[in-house]
A and B are shown apart, each in its own frame.
Chain A
Amino acid sequence: MATVRYPIGILFSATGSYGTVGRTMLNGALMACDEVNRDRSSGVELVPTIVDPASVLSAYAPAVEAMLDAGIRHVVGCYTSSSRKDVIPIFEKRDALLWYPAHYEGFESSANVVYTGTAPNHHMSPLVDYLVSRFGRKAFCVGSNYIWGWESNRVLREDVTQRGGKVLAERYFAVGETDFSAIIEAIFEANPDFVFNALIGQSAYAFFRQFRQACLSRGIDQKTRFPIASCNLSEPELAEIGPGAVDGHLSSSVYFATIATPVNRAFVAGYQRSFPDGPTVSAEAEAAYIAVRFLAKALRDAGGGDLAAVKAALAGQSLEAPQGRVTIDPETMHCYLTPRIGRSRADGQFDILVEAERPVRPDPYLVHAAAPLEVVAQRPMLRVV
């Protein structure tokens, strides 16, 4: 079978405030490229052009423009929603395809994006189920001050409120903020059943460390009394938190490195072989890996890089990914994924506590999950006449 070469773009921030996650995504994408290129039967050779926007939002759009100018039609990239929102108009205007491998807050389905990360229904509902049944219904929310934090907290608030619970407070911090002393005092004062964390990068690591320390100095067992739950906590980030504060955190994700299947064991072993200096394998790495595998499959089936043909070839495609079977939903170009809840261990890995029986259909607009009307706290039943 003749092999066709395709230039592709890889756009992850391997440095800067969320560089750790960016590097695992880069590694996942490169690993898939390598596998595709070594597999002679794939019929496809991917030639990656790698750009590092260094966690600087304004660097993404020029990078994409340059890639498209160089004749690239497919770019695997972006971690934050703000960077994705920044570059989508370019992909739409110039009719190229962004392969976006990160969990995000939903409410989007651009015709020029394939989403291989989780939609909100994948990570939020299972997490709230778990938290409410194990810890209680009073939540304290902290988040980075951008769309991921706002929307994650909104979805959590609706879900908790519908189950008769309450969000005691929501606090937001600039991306990169690392002083949480005031908010930690506020958490003790509010006395929630759990803390929901939508902070990203360095802010999240600092918060985990400072909160654990503050609990220790008060003689409180943070893991059981004020567990922290996140939808964006993966193994490389546990390493960044550092020893002493790394264990006992809850994470809702579709992938953990400890998934005990032959496919995943081979994936983790291959990753560690390729990137012995880390960062360790993560959900984001797996999503980037899936994105490139799907890209190669669609290029081969479409017999070329033409966008309409690639999208047509991609619709309904499945592959056996490290997390299990992953299928592209033709309607939304998001993926059927398998939700799981993990609890971090001192060795920087997760114990899997809960796992969905089968892959769950993506619902980026929460069409099937959310109440038709926004949920508000219960009001007294008074009627003014």
Chain B
Amino acid sequence: MVPGRFVQNFSHRRAILVSNDDRAIATLTATLGRLGLTVSHRPTKDEAADLSQEPLQAAEVVLFVDGDLARAPVLPLSDGSGPMPRVPVVGLVGVEAPSRLRALMQTGATAFLAKPVYAGSVFSALYLAVNEHAAKADQLAAIGAHETRRRQRRFVIKAVLKLMRERGLDDDDAAFAILRRESMQARLSIEAYCQFVVQRSAALSESGADGPLMSRSAE
């Protein structure tokens, strides 16, 4: 797997500060501005700030969430497997108690920034939060892909048997090699291709027709 490229320039991103701490907001607004981000502020009262319905994208937004808030904000989750916010989160740590740190972790913080916020630490926290969020998203996507392949294993077995039967092969390795070659030509994983072969065959036998093996692009 090709390792992801690190994000190093955060200009043209938006920072949303979910905090009621005026000092932290003042420092972050000035410092993030220097780093090229536009900053908006989301004050909260007793109820949790709800950002779940907002169209936030990981490549555009970074959230700064204050751990001292009475209620953690509700964030939009990523589409992939695993509970992960759609956008990177920097946790602002005031009270350094385990319950507060845990709440920030559960919100999805991938970096911490201690309060009072020191301007010289903001770039590091931002760098860590954004790149760690991207790495985590990649990992979750990879795990999701592996899970899908695991579920498709039975189609590989079926496709190998089907091919051996149809072409009179007595060597399962040869059947697998054919499927592997065809899957690469179709730009699909062997599992996805085998699922396609098996399900197509089932569909054809239901409709009573027969036709050449079609390949399709993965995109």
Contacts and interface: CB of A to CB of B under 8 A. Distances in A.
A370 B9 contact: yes
B109 to A, nearest CB: 22
Interface stretch (A12-20, A106-114, A128-136, A214-222): A106-114
A368 B184 CA distance: 42
A273 interface: no
Contacts of A368: 11, 36
Interface stretch (A37-45, A51-59, A274-282, A372-380): A372-380
B183 interface: yes
Interface in A356-371: 364-368, 370-371
A374 B11 contact: no
B9 A366 contact: yes
Dominant SS at the A interface?
Answer: loop
Interface string B35-56: 1100000000000000000000
Nearest to A334: B34
B218 A385 contact: yes
A373 B7 contact: yes
Contacts of B11: 367-368, 372
B151 interface: no
B126 to A, nearest CB: 11
A158 to B, nearest CB: 9
Contact of A109 (B36, B119, B187, B189): B119
Nearest to B189: A385
A189 interface: no
Interface centre among A92, A107, A109, A332 (most CB of B within 10 A): A109
A364 B7 CA distance: 17
A95 to B, nearest CB: 14
A167 B193 CA distance: 42
A331 B34 contact: yes
Interface string B107-148: 000000000000110010000000000000000000000000
A365 B5 contact: no
A385 B188 contact: yes
Interface in B1-47: 1-2, 5-12, 31, 33-36
Interface residues of A, number: 24
Contacts, number: 56
Given A332-B34, A374-B8, A110 B120 contact: yes
Given A373-B6, A373-B7, A111 B34 contact: no
A111 B122 CA distance: 13
A45 to B, nearest CB: 33
B34 A376 contact: no
Contacts of B31: 109
A295 B197 CA distance: 77
Contacts of A373: 5-9
B15 to A, nearest CB: 13
Interface string A83-117: 00000100010000000000000011111000000
B33 A383 contact: no
Contacts of A383: 187
11 contacts: A332-B34, A364-B34, A365-B34, A366-B9, A368-B11, A371-B9, A372-B8, A372-B11, A372-B12, A374-B8, A385-B218
Interface of A: 88, 92, 107-111, 331-332, 364-368, 370-374, 376, 379, 383-385
Given A111-B119, A366-B9, A385-B187, 10 more contacts: A109-B34, A331-B33, A365-B35, A365-B36, A372-B8, A372-B9, A374-B8, A379-B2, A385-B184, A385-B218
